[in-house]
Amino acid sequence: MPDDSLVGPHGWSPLLIAAMIFFAMGFVTWLNGPLISFVRVAFSLTDFNAFFIPLVFYVSYLLFSIPASMIARKLGLKQGLALSIVVSAIGVATFGQFIAWRIYGGALTGLLTLGAGLSLMQVVINPLVSLLGPPTHAAKRIAIMGICNKFAGILAPIVLATLVMHNIGGVAAQAAAATDPAVREGILSNFVHALYWPYLGMAAMLLVVAAIVAVSSLPNLEAPPIPSLSGEATTSIFRPHLVWGFITMFLYVGAEVMAGDAIGTYGQGFGLPLDQTKFFTSLTLGGMLIGYIAGFLVVPRILPQERYLELSCVLGIVLTALAFLTHGYTSVLCVALLGVANAMIMPTIFPIAIRGAGAATPLASALLVMSYSGGAIIPQFYVLLKPYLGFQGMFALLVLPCYAAILAYARRYGRVGLGPLPLERR
């Protein structure tokens, strides 16, 4: 018998299917951190060019979220989810193939395709999970998704590092020492081919998940019509809590990517070896997993989700300051612990921002997913400016204002009744 206080009248089945999807997608999407180090060695790139990995991946949310909301309206929930996973599988396979061919531009195209599939998935899944039960438990339901996503994200970099990047430091040294270009190309070619079969395997895994979704009992719900961006519909959707929610989510995803994907580069700034920094993304995701579990236990039994959001921002500010004031492994640990602070921020911002959207919920969701492009923009500022301001100073200069802005949003819009407003329904 389902726990109605958490999942509502639809029961546990839709939530379990969503959890499976989040696990599968977490496995293939939380590889960006170690991939930055991988492509820098494989293609002899600068930090700026290597950070095209998160740039292309997260800018896809900006490009594809609105089209994804239209597809969601046309296909409905089940078909939309199945299609999103198939598109993601194509992106993963494309990335692996072009990496094997050592065509960096083609590999980035694969990441863009993966992002297109994820945009459709996020537009459908996030409001679904938010609305499956009482609004006071929305962050808790999304936290369950986060636990599945981040657990897979912890495993993925470890698997990649063990199977493919186990000797990345030695490969980099051998390639740098090779005086014969043919020898150097041979070393790097063998290195990148090790990534081919794991990525094809992940693409096959995603196709299996898509097939499960397609034949599952998940209700094929129809998304409400998307209003035009003029007249009364515009007035009903572009409310302050959504507009500022877009900006806040943009800043949050940027901060999350800084703590998760950029932590390896951050550690290398202290001279830490590649064979250690390749695991640092898993440390941050481990912190996020702890944060999700803590949120699941605390919200709303002890604290309402909006108050927990405020405390998360304060913790993020403290840890960022400590990362700036310390050095070496201690500083890296402070950055990794930002995962604990970050865990419940997105699950709380999302239901606050879409409350009251009514029939415009798909469009509101799409706008919030577009804001994930903060993960593309903010890390690029870090890479461009850290040579001038120092990697620690630049990290703090970017991340501290993000947490301060999220805290201001939580205090301004999160305390309306200490819970999301009831959603308008037709």
The pTM of the full predicted model, rounded to 2 decimals, is 0.80
Q: Is 347 contained in some domain?
A: yes
Q: How far is CA 26 from CA 18, 124, 155, 200, 401, in A?
A: 12, 16, 9, 16, 27
* Pick from 31-40, 165-174, 285-294, 295-304: least confident: 165-174
Q: Is 419 contained in some domain?
A: no
The C-alpha angle 18, 21, 22, rounded to 5 degrees, equals 85
Q: Is 225 contained in some domain?
A: no
The pLDDT assigned to 225 comes to: 41
Q: Is 160 contained in some domain?
A: yes
Q: Is 380 contained in some domain?
A: yes
Q: Is 113 contained in some domain?
A: yes
* Pick from 106-110, 175-179, 251-255, 307-311: least confident: 175-179
DSSP-derived 3-state class of residue 165: coil
Structural domain of 107: 4-214+232-413
Q: How far is CA 90 from CA 25, 112, 230, in A?
A: 13, 11, 36
Give 310-351 as a 3 state SS string: HHHHHHHHHHHHHHHHCCHHHHHHHHHHHHHHHCCHHHHHHH
Question: What's the pLDDT tens digit per position in 158-178?
Answer: 888 787 776 777 887 888 888
| Average pLDDT of the residues of the chain | 84
Cα separation of 167 and 376, whole Å? 28
158: domain CATH number is 1.20.1250.20
Q: Is 248 contained in some domain?
A: yes
Q: Which tokens is 288 given?
A: 């996020």
Q: Is 361 contained in some domain?
A: yes
Contact between 140 and 149 under an 8 Å Cβ cutoff? The reply is no
Determine the residue type at 233.
A
More confident residue, 164 or 229: 164
Number of domains in the chain: 1
